[in-house]
Structure 1
C-alpha cells in the first residue's frame, strides 16, 4: 500500500515544476547536431560462449534472473520523441520483446521536460495508476526520488542490483572511486535503498568532452611562418600578426584574430583563455574546484583577476572580437566562421566542428587543435538515475530483468545504431573506429541515418541506464564530410586527453557528483544560478571594459558574498564529503 501524504504530493508537484523550469542551459540535442557515427569508448567486444574475442554471428544477451514468463505486459512511461514513427512496431521495441519474452506497452508523456513533470505530478496527486517503469520522466532529483520511494511510490532496487548479472559486470569495469560515487549518490543515506537504476557516463568517452574546442588557423600560421603558440604571451604576438599581416591574402583588413561565443555550446573562448591562469570549468554552469578534498571558488582569486586582465588586453587591442560577448545564435556564429564567399577571416576560434561550420564547407580542415595553456577541463562525469520501477508494477522481477538487459552491449548498440543487419554489422578484422581503435561494429550509412533522424529503428533517446562497458566504437566506410568531421573531433579528443593528463585538476564540484540533503538542495538551487549568472555577466563586463579590474574588483567580490558564495561553497563541500569523505 502506498503511504499517501497529500501535503507531500503538493510539494512534489511544485518541486517538479520548479526543477523543470530551473534546469541549466543544455547542450544541443542529438537531433540538432550533425549525426556522429560513433561514441567510442574503448575496445570492449561481445564475447562468445567459447570465450574468444570474436563476436558470434548474433550474440544476443538474455536478462538475468528467472526467465520472464510469456504473456506478461509491462507499460513503459517515457517522453515522446518526434523522430520515432511507431513505438509499438519499432525495431528496438521488437528486439527488447524478443530478448525478454515480455510484451511492451507505452504511456507517452510530453516530450518537454517541464510538461512531463506536470503530467507526473498530476498523476501522483490524483492517485492515478503509474506505468510499470518510468524512463527519464520529470527530472526528479535523487533526494526527491528517495523521498517518494520511502513514501511507497517506487520499488527499492538495491537487492536486484546486488544480484544482477549485467549491471554488476558494468559496475566492476569502473574505477573504485566511480563505483563508490555511483552507488552512494543514488542511495538513501540512512537505509541504503536505491529507487532508480544507476547510469554513468565518463567525460572522457565523449567527443564533446573538452569544455571548449580551441582551434587555430594552421594555413595562416604557415603563411606567416609562425609556430603554434604555447602560452598567453606567444598567443598575443600571433594574434597581432593575424591582425596586421593580411594572412588571408585578400588585401583587406578583414581578419578577426580571435572569436568565440560565451553563450554557445563548446564555443566559450573566454573560459578557454582564462584556463591559462586558473582552472575554470563552466560545462555545468561556473563550477567550483576541489583540491585535496577542499572545495574552493576560482572566481575570487588573484589568478582569475590576472586572466581577466589578459582577456581585456586582447579585446582593447582588437585581438578578440567583442562579438564574442554578444553572439547567441548558432547561425550567426556559423556565418562569421564560414562566410558565403568561402574565405577565411578568423584566426583563433572555439568551435564545435559539426555545429559551427557550414556542412559543405571544407574550411574546418584548415584549423589545427590548440590546447588551453595551463588547465584542460573536461565536461563532468555524469552520474544519473533515469529508470524507476513504480509500486504499481505487478511484475517487478521481470521489470528489473528488462532494466538489467539495458546494461548489455547488444542493447546499447541497438538503442544507438539501430537494427542488426540493416543499420550495422560486426566490424571486420582490422577496421578501426573514429579514434583509431579496434572497432566493435561497422555502420551502414547507405541505409540511412538513425540517431536524430525520422526512424522506426530506435527510440532516438537514451531512455535506459547504461555503463561505459556497454558501449561500442564504430567503423564507417562513409567518406562524407560529416564522417571526416567526426574523425577530426575524435582526434581532438585524444590530443586533449593526452594534454589533460598533466594539465587538468583531478576534480571539480558539480551537481552530478554530490549528495545533498533536501534543505541543502533547496538552498543551492536558490543561490547557485544567480551566482553563476553574475559571474558570467561580470566576466563579460570586465573583459569589455564596462567594469574596471582595479576600481570595481572589491565591489564584485562583495556582490558575490551577498549572493551567498560562502554558503554555496559550504553546501558543495558538505555534498562532496558525503560521497568521498573529504578525500
Structure 2
C-alpha cells in the first residue's frame, strides 16, 4: 500500500472512530430516564416553585473541560442537591478540549446535539451564528421563566449587551464571575535587584529607562556575568510597554476606545511614539534581541534559569506567575506613566468578570421551559460562588455574619486546581452582583484574593476597552481575508522599526499599504459591530 493510501485510510479510521464515539455519546441522550420522560412529555411543569416538574426528567448536558480535567465537578453537592430539588436529572457529557475541535465538527455535521451546552469552550460566536437553526432564541424564555437572569440583566446591562446577537436576539446566556479584578497584566519588577542597586520602583518611562539600564550594566544578580536581560518576550515586543502611551489591547484585535470612539491603534500617533521609545530601549540592549524569534520554552528557561535570575521587568497577572524558584524576588508595581504624565492600565472598568456563550438550549431539547427554569437556579449569588469555587461545606464556609470564606485546599494542591476540581469554575451560568460580592472574604496573599489586592495598584487607571462585540455571518466571512495579511504586515513592520528604527521615514508608506490591503473595510466591520453593541437596550 502506498504512503498516500495509508494516510487516507488512517484519516478515514480516525473519522470513523470519532463518529462512533459521538454516536455513543448521542445514544446516551436516550437514557432510560429520558425514554420514560419522553413518553410522559406532559409531566406537570410548575411555572413557579420547586420541583420544576412533578415527574423526573433527564436532560443531556454537554460541557467541554480543559485538557485532562475530567468530571469530578459533578460531585459538587450544590449540583447534586439541585437534581433532587428540581426533579431534573442531568446526563453529563464531559468532553476534553484536547480533541473537541474534531468532535465538534462531527457533531455539527451530524445534525444532532444534546439538550443543553454549558461553557464557552464548546461553541464560540461563529459556531453559533453559522448554525443558528440548532440553537433556540431565548428572549421569551428569559422574560417568562428566568426571573434571576432577567433581574441580573436589568441591574448589569452589560449582561444583555454581550449576549445580543446581530439579529437582535439572544441565543446564548452570559455569566458574571465573582471577585474578579479590573486590571489585566500589570507591570512586575525584580525588587531584589532594585534594592541591591539602591533604586526605587519606576513611576514613569524616564525612571523605567534608568532602572533597565542599571539592571543591564550593574550586575544586580551578583554572579559577576553580564547576563541580565532587562526585558524579554516571545515573538514580539512586550506590548505592555505601549500602555504608557495609552495603548491597551484587551481583546487582542488592535482596537481601543479613545474619547468614547473606537480607534484602530496601529495607525495612531500614540503607537508611532510608543514604538520610537521601544526602539530606543532595544538599541541600548535593554530588550532581549531574541524577543522576536524565541518560543515560550526558551523564554521560560530564561525566566527560571537555575543559577541566577536573569529577567528584570515584565507584565504579568501576578508576580509569582512565571519565575519559578525566583518568584519571591518579584513584585507588582503601579502602571508606568507615559510622556503625557498619565497612567494607563489594560483591563475593564466593569471588571474582567463577564463571559458569554456560557449556556445554549438546543432545538433538540423537548423541555425548553423546564430547562430555562433549571438554568435560572444558577443565577443567584450563592449558587454562583458554589459553581465557581466549590460547594458550601466543601470549599466555602458560610459564616454566621452572612459572609463567605474560602477553605484552604488540601496539602500539596494549588487553590486554582482545587476549585476546578470541585466546580464548573469559569464555565457555565453565574451572576454575582457587586452587592453580593461584598460578602465574599478572600485571602489577599494568594490566588483570586491576591489578584484583587494587586488590582488596587492599577484599578483607577484602567482604560475603557473595545467591548466584547458580535459579528454577522458576512463579517465573519470577511475577517480571515483581511486580518491575516494585515496582522502579519503590522507585526513584521513593528519588528523592523523596533530593531532598526526608521518609523518616521516609512510611516506614510506603511499606512498607505495597510489601506491597500483593505484596512478601512476591516475598521468598518469593527465600527458597525461597535454601533450594534452600543445600541442594545
> Which TM-score band (shorter chain)?
0.7 to 0.9
**What per-residue deviation string (whole Å, max 9, x for no partner) do you get for residues 410-437 of structure 1?**
33222222233233222466xxxxxxxx
When residues 347 and 131 of structure 1 are mapped into structure 2, their CA distance, relative to the original with a 3 A threshold, is closer
Provide the residue aligned with 2:410 in structure 1.
Answer: 446
Give the Cα separation in 2 of the matches to 1:346 and 1:134: 43
**Correspondences of 1:356-395 after superposition (within 5 Å):** 356-358=322-324, 361=325, 363-373=327-337, 374-378=343-347, 382-395=354-367
> How do residues 429-508 of structure 1 correspond to structure 2 at under 5 angstroms?
440-446=404-410, 452=417, 457-459=422-424, 462-469=426-433, 475=441, 484=446, 487-500=449-462, 504=463, 506-508=464-466
Instruction: Say yes or no: does 1:173 pair with 2:151.
Output: no
Which residue matches 1:571? 525
* Matched ranges for 1:221-240 at <5 A: 221-240=194-213
- 1:4-23, aligned counterparts within 5 Å? none
User: 3-state DSSP class of the match of 1:259?
Assistant: coil
In structure 1, distance between residues paired with 2:285 and 2:130? 54
| Aligned counterpart in structure 2 of residue 412 of structure 1, from 384, 395, 403 | 384
Q: Deviations over 1:152-190 (max 9, x none)?
A: x4333212212322212322332x4x255245x23733x
The one-character-per-residue Cα deviations of 1:5-38 (angstroms, maximum 9, x if unpaired) are: xxxxxxxxxxxxxxxxxxxxxxxxxxxxxxxxxx
Matched, 1:206 2:180: yes
- Report the CA distance between 1:95 and its aligned residue: 3.1
Cα gap change, 1:398 to 1:486, in 2 (>3 Å): closer
CA 1:280 to 1:417, structure 2 compared with 1: closer, same or farther past 3 Å? Answer: closer
Could you list the per-position Cα deviations for residues 450-470 of structure 1 after superposition, in whole angstroms to 9, with x for gaps in the alignment?
7535987435x5442223429
SS of corresponding position for 1:311: helix
Question: 2:396 aligned to 409, 412, 424, which one?
Answer: 424
The answer for the alignment partner of 1:318 in structure 2 is 285
User: 1 CA distance for matches of 2:74 and 2:223?
Assistant: 58
Secondary structure at 2:433 match in 1: helix
Call closer, same or farther: CA 1:223–1:90 in 2, change over 3 Å.
closer
| CA displacement at 1:515 relative to structure 2 | 3.6
How far has the Cα of 1:314 moved from its partner? 0.7
1:96 aligns with 2:82: yes
CA positional deviation for 1:488 = 4.3
Shift of the alpha carbon at 1:573? 0.9
Q: Which has the higher helix share?
A: 2
Matched, 1:68 2:52: yes
Distance 1:293 1:230 in 2: 27
- The alignment covers a number of residue pairs equal to 476
Q: CA separation in 2, counterparts of 1:244 and 1:100?
A: 67
- Structure-2 change in CA distance of 1:543 and 1:113 (3 Å): farther
Q: Which runs of 5+ in 1 are unaligned?
A: 1-61, 430-437
In 1, Cα distance between equivalents of 2:421 and 2:523: 47
| 1:307 to 2:277 alignment | no
> Residues 490, 323 of structure 1: CA spacing in aligned structure 2 closer, same or farther, 3 A cutoff?
farther
Contact 1:134–1:387 (CA<8 Å) still a contact in 2?
yes
Indicate how the Cα distance of structure 1 residues 556 and 238 shifts in structure 2: closer, same or farther if over 3 A, else same: same
2:192 to 219, 235, 242: 219
- 2:64 is matched with 79
Cα distance between partner residues in 2 of 1:527 and 1:294: 22
What's the Cα RMSD here?
3.6
